[in-house]
């Protein structure tokens, strides 16, 4: 069973080594998974929820499975065709045992669980290979089902998912289909309220443990991420200026006038675009003007001001003023000067 594999693989929270920092989150996740619990990671976009979930799959060992689309176990096949005749087997690595489902208001129960052709079901039975087309959830068998943005799914779908997780059964139309749920379930939820999100019901949430994940907890960690993941040009980025740039983004996250906060992708964007600006300007080192020249393009659409502020100021103007104030009080800008947007 997959729970035994997880217990062997997750020795400590440090086992999740694809994510820097986030010790609290890793500890919670490790403790939930080794008990076979279903989890929902709650956190804003761009903090590494997907990376963390993939990390779980990577920790799983290579195992022998049927060579079908649904990762059937040779001893316990679940897909219609393997049930009819034995398939070839193959070795499947941990990272191949990861299925991502993107939650959206358009996702249907048929997409998720499967579709039954009623005429053929009458003739051959509802779970026969001829009548039943398995949905995406079957592909997660023996692996990790990563369900991104659960709270964007219609309630009907949430209920179907719950039935599968709790009872190993799915109801499609008037048919009941056995769906032994041998997978690790990791859902995500964006805490920010928006028109496209559906509130997850209390009954639904009662079946999961929630784990919170947020922006990198320290400037040092965010700097490491940016230096590791960012594109590089042959220009130098003075360390103090880089730290100041990242501090600017981090300060915006604490700003009470901002409803949607800039993610790590914003930090990465400033890092890359400031280098590009220096390079295009024929310089070998990034200046604060290069950072400033990237701010509108990288940041203005990534933040959203609170309604009370939004009607008085555009994000562009807001960022310009924040930057001016920031550079006036930050020593990294002593020589370079603040500049204007
Ligand atoms: Zn199969």
Kindly give the distance from the C-alpha atom of residue 158 to the centroid of ligand 1, in angstroms, as a whole number. Answer: 25
User: Virtual CA dihedral for 108, 114, 120, 125, nearest 10 degrees?
Assistant: -130
**Angstrom distance (rounded) from CA 188 to CA 211:** 9
Say what the pLDDT of residue 338 is.
47
Domain ranges for the chain, please list them.
2-212, 219-333
- List pLDDT tens digits, range 38-96: 999 999 888 999 999 999 999 999 999 999 888 888 988 888 788 888 889 999 999 99
Rg of the chain over CA atoms, in angstroms?
A: 24
The pTM is what?
Answer: 0.85
Q: Residue 168: which residues within 8 A CB-CB, separation 6 or more?
A: 178, 179, 180, 181
Mean pLDDT throughout 153-165?
89
Kindly give the distance from the C-alpha atom of residue 139 to the centroid of ligand 1, in angstroms, as a whole number. Answer: 9
Kindly give the distance from the C-alpha atom of residue 72 to the centroid of ligand 1, in angstroms, as a whole number. Answer: 4
**Angstrom distance (rounded) from CA 218 to CA 150:** 28
User: 3-class secondary structure for 106-164?
Assistant: CCCHHHHCEEECHHHHHHHCCCCCCCEEECHHHHHCCCEEEEECHHHCCHHHHHHHHHH
Q: Which two tokens stand for residue 59?
A: 């920790």
Kindly give the distance from the C-alpha atom of residue 76 to the centroid of ligand 1, in angstroms, as a whole number. Answer: 9
**Angstrom distance (rounded) from CA 36 to CA 317:** 49
Kindly give the distance from the C-alpha atom of residue 82 to the centroid of ligand 1, in angstroms, as a whole number. Answer: 4
**Angstrom distance (rounded) from CA 319 to CA 326:** 10
Kindly give the distance from the C-alpha atom of residue 65 to the centroid of ligand 1, in angstroms, as a whole number. Answer: 9
Q: What is the mean pLDDT of the chain?
A: 89
Q: Which two tokens stand for residue 330?
A: 């930050």
Judged by DSSP in three states, 188 sits in strand
Domain 219-333 has CATH 1.10.8.80: yes
Question: 37: how many CB neighbours lie within 10 A of its CB?
Answer: 15
Kindly give the distance from the C-alpha atom of residue 92 to the centroid of ligand 1, in angstroms, as a whole number. Answer: 13
User: CATH for 2-212?
Assistant: 3.40.50.300
Q: Residue 296: which residues within 8 A CB-CB, separation 6 or more?
A: 316, 319, 341
Judged by DSSP in three states, 303 sits in coil
- List pLDDT tens digits, range 117-155: 888 878 887 767 778 888 899 889 899 999 999 989 988
**Angstrom distance (rounded) from CA 192 to CA 42:** 10
Q: Which two tokens stand for residue 212?
A: 């919170």
Q: With bands split at pLDDT 50, 70 and 90, how would you rate the model's confidence at 220?
A: very high
Kindly give the distance from the C-alpha atom of residue 176 to the centroid of ligand 1, in angstroms, as a whole number. Answer: 19
Kindly give the distance from the C-alpha atom of residue 71 to the centroid of ligand 1, in angstroms, as a whole number. Answer: 6
Q: With bands split at pLDDT 50, 70 and 90, how would you rate the model's confidence at 224?
A: very high
Q: With bands split at pLDDT 50, 70 and 90, how would you rate the model's confidence at 337?
A: very low
**Residue 114 forms beta bridges with which residues?**
134
Kindly give the distance from the C-alpha atom of residue 74 to the centroid of ligand 1, in angstroms, as a whole number. Answer: 8
């Amino acid at each position: 069973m997959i729970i035994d594999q997880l217990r062997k693989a997750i020795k400590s929270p440090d086992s999740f080594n694809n994510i820097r920092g986030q010790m609290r989150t890793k500890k919670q996740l490790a403790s939930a998974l080794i008990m076979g619990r279903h989890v929902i990671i709650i956190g804003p976009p761009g903090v590494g929820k997907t990376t963390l979930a993939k990390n779980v799959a990577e920790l799983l060992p290579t195992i022998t499975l049927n060579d079908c689309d649904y990762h059937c176990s040779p001893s316990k096949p679940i897909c219609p065709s393997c049930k009819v005749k034995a398939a070839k087997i193959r070795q499947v690595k941990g990272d191949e045992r990861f299925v991502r489902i993107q939650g959206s208001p358009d996702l249907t129960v048929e997409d998720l669980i499967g579709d039954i052709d009623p005429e053929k079901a009458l003739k051959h039975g509802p779970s026969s290979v001829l009548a039943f087309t398995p949905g995406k959830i079957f592909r997660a068998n023996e692996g990790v089902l990563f369900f991104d943005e659960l709270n964007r799914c219609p309630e009907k779908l949430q209920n179907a998912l719950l039935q599968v997780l709790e009872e190993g059964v799915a109801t499609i139309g008037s048919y009941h289909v056995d769906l032994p749920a041998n997978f690790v379930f990791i859902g995500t939820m964006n805490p920010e309220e928006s028109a496209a999100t559906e509130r997850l019901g209390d009954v639904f949430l009662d079946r999961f443990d929630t784990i919170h994940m947020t922006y990198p907890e320290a400037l040092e960690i965010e700097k490491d991420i940016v230096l590791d993941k960012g594109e590089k040009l042959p220009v130098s980025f003075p360390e103090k200026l880089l730290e100041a740039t990242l501090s600017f983004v981090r300060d915006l996250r604490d700003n009470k006038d901002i409803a949607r906060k800039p993610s790590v992708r914003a930090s990465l964007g400033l890092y890359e675009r400031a280098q590009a600006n220096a390079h295009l300007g024929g310089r070998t080192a990034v200046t604060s003007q290069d950072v400033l020249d990237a701010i509108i393009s990288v940041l203005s659409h990534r933040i959203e001001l609170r309604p009370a502020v939004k009607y008085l100021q555009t994000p562009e103007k807001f960022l310009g003023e924040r930057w001016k104030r920031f550079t006036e009080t930050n020593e990294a800008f002593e020589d370079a000067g603040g500049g204007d947007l």
